[in-house]
Amino acid sequence: MSCIHSYGSIASFSVPSSPSFTRRSRCASKSKLLCALGGSVAEPKVTSVAEPLLLNAVRGDDVERPPVWLMRQAGRYMKSYQTLCERYPSFRERSENVDLIVEISLQPWKVFKPDGVILFSDILTPLSGMNIPFDIVKGRGPVIFDPLHTAEDVDQVREFVPQESVPYVGEALTILRKEVDNQAAVLGFVGAPFTLASYVVEGGSSKHFTKIKRLAFSQPKVLHALLQKFTTSMTKYIRYQADSGAQAVQIFDSWATELSPVDFEEFSLPYLKQIVDGVKETHPDLPLILYASGSGGLLERLALTGVDVVSLDWTVDMAEGRRRLGPNIAVQGNVDPGVLFGSKEFITSRINDTVTKAGRGRHILNLGHGIVVGTPEENVAHFFEVAKGIRY
């Protein structure tokens, strides 16, 4: 399947100074198109009007523009969220109450109408259901009360049963699916095994990851046992989210890029692949997106997981990322979140640059990381306005 439908150059559209792109003549509509990554590819499929734009783009259908959503689009930069936080100061309350989850998830949808509406939650949400007590403390972040360091600690980790432990997630996704009504794709998400293991071994966030690496390099069997428990649990969690209404699921492996390539191949890649294979057995049409910040050195390995979309961070040139990943995988990203602090003209130019380099089709426009706290809300509005005005 094609990733970029091009007439001998990387993009099949021109970039004028205005926010929109102009459509080129399809003089070769009956012939095969040349993929900018090399080789010939078949014509894109006709878009289904019943499916959200994001799903059509991921599957290689012919779309008029790239779908757009932003990581952390529901969050602290929005005044409506800040107001809600004053009433409900506990993050866990906000992320574990059905009504609050739905309200927060829909805040950016009501204002910006993105093409993806992602569940408001946290990758650590399943931990309590696995007998790993935790909290998310304002100003400090995640805190694991009893970090895991031994085989005995890992033995105490329970099998995750989402229907019992996080029913509010399923209920919220079902409501979101009805509220959005296929005008956008409802997105779920989970944490990847190595990233979850990093949190529970380190006791929270870390700068040097010495504890998880000590475990990996001195007691690898213990870490592998923990990773397998997270793998089995996250496979179930993705299936549960899909059955509840999620139309695509993003896997966050935020800390996998702290591993060298050879260690990534041992402690992350096989578990990611196991999750993808397991989900595809029961939900073959569910798009899976993989994001790992700072992943420039691991791109080719990320593609080996079998996911449908690799989300690039902003340190990777989009055109280079396309070339390295190959034509059979979609890409997401990858505007620097800091761009949203620039002028509207600057934001427009960076959006145009990213879409140009991504080429036509199989691209979800996004940031290369989550929206930064303090980002001007009007600049986010401008980002969506420009993005939705694009035409291939």
CA distance 288 to 285: 9
Q: Which residues contact 157 (CB under 8 A, 6 or more apart)?
A: 130, 131, 132, 148, 226, 229
Instruction: Find the farthest-apart pair of alpha carbons in the chain and give their distance in angstroms, rounded.
Output: 67
pLDDT of residue 202: 96
pLDDT of residue 139: 83
Question: Burial letters for 12-42: b for 16+ Cβ neighbours within 10 Å, e otherwise?
Answer: bbebeeebebeeeeeeeeeeebbbbbeeebe
Residue whose C-alpha is closest to residue 311's, from 268, 354, 264: 354
* Domains and their CATH numbers in the chain: 53-389 (3.20.20.210)
pLDDT of residue 26: 35
CA distance 104 to 90: 14
CA distance 118 to 186: 6
- Digit-by-digit pLDDT tens for the chain (392 residues) are 333 333 223 333 433 333 333 333 333 333 333 333 333 333 444 444 489 999 999 999 999 999 999 999 998 899 999 999 999 999 999 999 999 999 999 999 999 999 999 999 999 999 999 999 999 998 889 999 999 999 999 999 999 999 999 999 999 999 999 999 999 999 999 999 999 999 999 999 998 999 999 999 999 999 999 999 999 999 999 999 999 999 999 999 999 999 999 999 999 999 999 999 999 999 999 999 999 999 999 999 999 999 999 999 999 999 999 999 998 999 999 999 999 999 999 999 999 999 999 999 999 999 999 999 999 999 999 999 999 999 99
Q: Which class for 345: exposed (0-12), middle (13-18), buried (19 or more C-beta within 10 A)?
A: exposed
pLDDT of residue 146: 96
